[in-house]
Amino acid sequence: MTEHTQIITTIITSFLITLILGPIVIPILHRLKVGQSIRDEGPKSHMQKSGTPTMGGLIMITAICVTTLTSGNVNRDLYVILFATISFGLIGFIDDFIKVVLKRNLGLKAYQKLIGQITVAIIIAVYQSSISEYGTKILVPFINEEWDLGILYIPFIVTVMVATANSVNLTDGLDGLAAGVTLIVSAFFSLVAINLGYSSIAAFCGALTGACLGFLRFNAHPAKVFMGDTGSMALGGAIAAIAILMNLTLLIPIVGGIYFAEALSVILQVTSFKLTGKRIFRMSPLHHHFELKGWKETKVVIVFWSITLVLCIVGLFSLN
């Protein structure tokens, strides 16, 4: 079986597992009454989504784990990526559990999330700098040079990983947005992993792609389930770990441009309001700005998917 065939197999397997788990898990979430609460200050069109089951990220995490662990491409790198995915997913799960089960709207405090995220990120950074042949070097896209960050490597990797996870979390605000963007990004990384000879990482990317595709069956507009912080944190941790272990950290802001545009919009909005009392956007994150300008939710999602596809093509050219 060729590597390309194996990746297609992992995509299909993860996709089917997700499709099977959806009708089983979603009714359970309904019975547990783990419904999403919608912010009053958000777009009024979102109020009808109140009560939609959340924590659906458990479906994707399960599909990814089962698929990768049975793929025949299990090695140390795969375990590290799974560790990052599950650990970030666990942080999100605890946050969701506090919010929707214990009915404490704020969930984990910001510093509690950060402590957990930074701890996991440090483990990944230390692993990569100690085990990888690249050491503390990172590849710079477009010029294809390696820069040695030395003692700055670990804090840099920690910053990137935490930023990516939280950026994906902010992106998860419209039906199918985060799942669709991550599907495209993970498909991109699966192609890169195959070409660079990272068979186990390619298998993981295939499983991630299939899980996102399957989840869209239930999460596309109108969503029957939301991934919650459980899913968005897991996806962010996964994408960051994939790029880090292939020494392609600087590709994340390129191919994941939508993630960072969403995060940047929040930073700019908060900073502007605190300094001047004025808002730059009608609402942040960025997807809500376009909604309030009159775009339909589905239009925003499709446009953001399309931009991600273009950015991934740019990412491919940056490696040539």
Whether the ω angle into residue 23 lies within 30 degrees of 0, i.e. cis, is no
pLDDT attached to residue 133: 84
- The C-alpha atoms of residue 260 and residue 252 are separated, in whole angstroms, by 9
**Phi/psi at 74 (nearest 5 deg)?**
-80, 125
pLDDT attached to residue 310: 98
pLDDT attached to residue 255: 98
pLDDT attached to residue 6: 84
pLDDT attached to residue 237: 98
pLDDT attached to residue 65: 97
pLDDT attached to residue 45: 60
219 bridge partner residues: none
> Packing angle between helix 153-171 and helix 110-131, nearest 10 degrees?
130
pLDDT attached to residue 72: 85
pLDDT attached to residue 1: 58
Question: What are the 10-residue block averages of pLDDT along the chain, 320 residues in total?
Answer: 82 98 95 70 62 94 97 92 98 94 80 97 96 90 93 97 98 97 98 94 97 98 95 98 96 97 97 93 95 95 98 94
Strand, helix or coil for residue 140: strand
Strand, helix or coil for residue 110: helix
Query: Of the candidates 165, 300, 152, 315, which has an alpha carbon nearest to the alpha carbon of residue 246?
Result: 315
Exposure string of 250-263, with b = 16+ CB inside 10 Å and e = fewer, is bbbbbbbbbbbbbb
Output the DSSP codes for 46-108.
GGGGTT-B--THHHHHHHHHHHHHTSS---HHHHHHHHHHHHHHHHHHHHHIIIIIS--TT-S
pLDDT attached to residue 36: 65
Q: Which pTM was predicted?
A: 0.94
- SS percent in the chain: helix, strand, coil, step 5: 75, 5, 25
CB 208 within 8 A of CB 14: yes
- The C-alpha atoms of residue 103 and residue 97 are separated, in whole angstroms, by 8
263-305-297 Cα angle (round to 5): 80
Cβ neighbors of 131 (< 8 A, separation 6 or more) are 76
